[in-house]
């Protein structure tokens, strides 16, 4: 289990990754390979280059190069290891070999997820890690860590320095969150942004994959094909409420628990209500779906009992009629939920923090963060 706290230095490093699907429809492994593309604006010392980081729509809508992706992964792993093993209240020093073992294991899992992820996530992942890496350089992160180890500076002080440096970049965090948590892109999947027809899988589609789910497993869906604002979206997350996929021939089968901020389409409903309720099978039989399993730090699956208890919490929130949480930075509230917050809370109550911590000080948890967390593994995708 994790002793994860809010990520100290990745307050805006939403760390959400993407790469074109390079492997088969049901596998979740592969090498991270991508041909070199256009270069990102290099972050340097001049004010003009710094201003470029505030243009988040540009950064979140382009395909990065392999080098940029590798640098983002390195930054992400540094943050993850630091939050797990360095900035923790313990008198026992964690052996170096142990931290290296976890780093290698977790990075392998991260790369396996990235290689099958859609391009929109890759753009997000690189952008926010680029911001974070730049800010850490500005505040002399390495030196601050030395000061922390000698008791000369506190966790809170380092966190505040990082947040102040983020603020100086002029990134509109509120606008980023509003674009990212907009779920209207899922209200109609029958056409793309160009008005072209998209083939929607019929009843019973992807039964072999969905049948691997157990009650309590997270499930993630990335934005679909097309351009425009959907590329900026963080996707959708839910918690599976069934053991397997017993009602495969019913598109209206209530297979998962989620929370939506829009009313269902009366002619093509993918969910039950505005707020916490059921997701229907048609929502999860379409492309860009990723089935997840919660694991411990060593990669072992959590028990069926814990998974069932996690799902029961979501059912209870539906029974209470919990509304949608539009205050995305307030993931700790329990009287309203957005989709990924609900999934996160179900498992947090069981002792597993499946938020990769990439919003940091903001306190939000996105669907992408659940997908990229080191305590989830991908069972399948299509």
Tens digits of residue pLDDT in 64-83: 999 999 999 999 999 999 98
User: Using 50, 70 and 90 to split pLDDT, how confident is the model at 35?
Assistant: very low
**What contacts 95, CB < 8 A, 6 or more positions away?**
none
pLDDT in the model for residue 223 = 85
The Cα 321–Cα 336 span in angstroms is: 9
Q: Which ranges of the chain would DSSP assign to H, the alpha helix?
A: 47-52, 56-59, 66-81, 96-115, 119-138, 141-149, 155-168, 173-180, 207-210, 281-284, 304-319, 339-348, 367-372
DSSP 168-225: HTT--HHHHHHHHT--GGGS--SB-TTS-B-PPP-TTTTHHHHTT--TT-EEEE---S
Residue 172 C-alpha from the chain's centroid:
20
Tens digits of per-residue pLDDT, 158-176? 999 998 998 898 889 899 9
- Lowest mean pLDDT segment, chosen from 94-98, 158-162, 170-174, 203-207: 94-98
Instruction: Indicate if the pLDDT at residue 122 is higher than 50.
Output: yes
Strands 289-294, 275-280: parallel, antiparallel or unpaired by DSSP?
unpaired
Residue 160, token pair as written in the block = 């505040």
- The larger pLDDT score, comparing residue 199 to residue 310, is at 310
pTM, whole model, 2 decimals?
0.84
The Cα 125–Cα 59 span in angstroms is: 10
Looking at residue 20, the DSSP 8-state letter turns out to be -
The Cα 368–Cα 222 span in angstroms is: 8
Residue found under tokens 């603020």: 167
Across-strand partners of 293?
377
The structural domains of the chain, with segments of one domain joined by +, span 47-381
The Cα 284–Cα 270 span in angstroms is: 9
pLDDT in the model for residue 193 = 53
pLDDT in the model for residue 358 = 73
- Superfamily of domain 47-381 in CATH is endopeptidase domain like (from Nostoc punctiforme) (3.90.1720.10)
SS3 call for 293: strand
């Amino acid at each position: 289990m994790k002793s994860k706290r809010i990520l100290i230095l990745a307050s805006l490093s939403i760390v959400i990754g993407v790469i074109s699907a390079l492997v088969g429809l049901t596998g979740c492994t592969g090498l991270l390979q991508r041909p070199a593309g256009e270069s990102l604006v290099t972050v340097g010392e001049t004010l003009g280059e710094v201003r470029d980081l505030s243009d988040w729509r540009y950064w979140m809508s382009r395909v990065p190069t392999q080098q940029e992706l590798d640098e983002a992964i390195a930054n992400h792993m540094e943050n993850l290891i630091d939050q797990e093993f360095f900035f923790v209240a313990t008198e026992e020093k964690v052996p170096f070999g142990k931290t290296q073992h976890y780093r290698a294991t977790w990075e392998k899992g991260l790369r396996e997820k990235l290689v099958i992820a859609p391009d929109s996530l890759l753009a997000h992942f690189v952008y926010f890690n680029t911001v974070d890496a730049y800010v850490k350089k500005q505040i002399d992160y390495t030196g601050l860590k030395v000061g922390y180890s000698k008791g000369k500076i506190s966790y809170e002080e380092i966190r505040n320095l990082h947040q102040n440096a983020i603020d100086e970049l002029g990134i509109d965090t509120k606008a980023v969150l509003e674009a990212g948590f907009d779920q209207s892109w899922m209200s109609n999947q029958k056409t793309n942004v160009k008005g072209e027809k998209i083939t929607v899988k019929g009843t019973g589609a992807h039964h072999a994959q969905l049948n691997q789910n157990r009650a309590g497993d997270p499930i993630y869906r990335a934005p679909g094909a097309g351009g425009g604002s959907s590329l900026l979206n963080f996707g959708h997350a839910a918690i599976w409420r069934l053991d397997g996929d017993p009602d495969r021939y019913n598109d209206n089968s209530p297979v998962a628990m989620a929370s939506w901020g829009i009313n269902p389409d009366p002619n093509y409903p993918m969910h039950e209500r505005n707020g916490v309720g059921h997701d229907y099978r048609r929502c999860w039989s379409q492309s860009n779906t990723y089935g997840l399993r919660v694991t411990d730090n060593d990669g072992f699956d959590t028990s069926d009992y814990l998974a069932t208890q996690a799902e029961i919490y979501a059912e209870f929130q539906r029974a209470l009629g919990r509304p949608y949480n539009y205050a995305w930075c307030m993931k700790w509230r329990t009287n309203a939920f957005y989709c990924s917050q609900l999934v996160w809370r179900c498992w947090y109550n069981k002792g597993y923090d499946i938020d990769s911590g990439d919003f940091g000080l903001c306190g939000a948890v996105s669907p992408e963060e659940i997908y990229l967390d080191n305590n989830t593994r991908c069972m399948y995708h299509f």
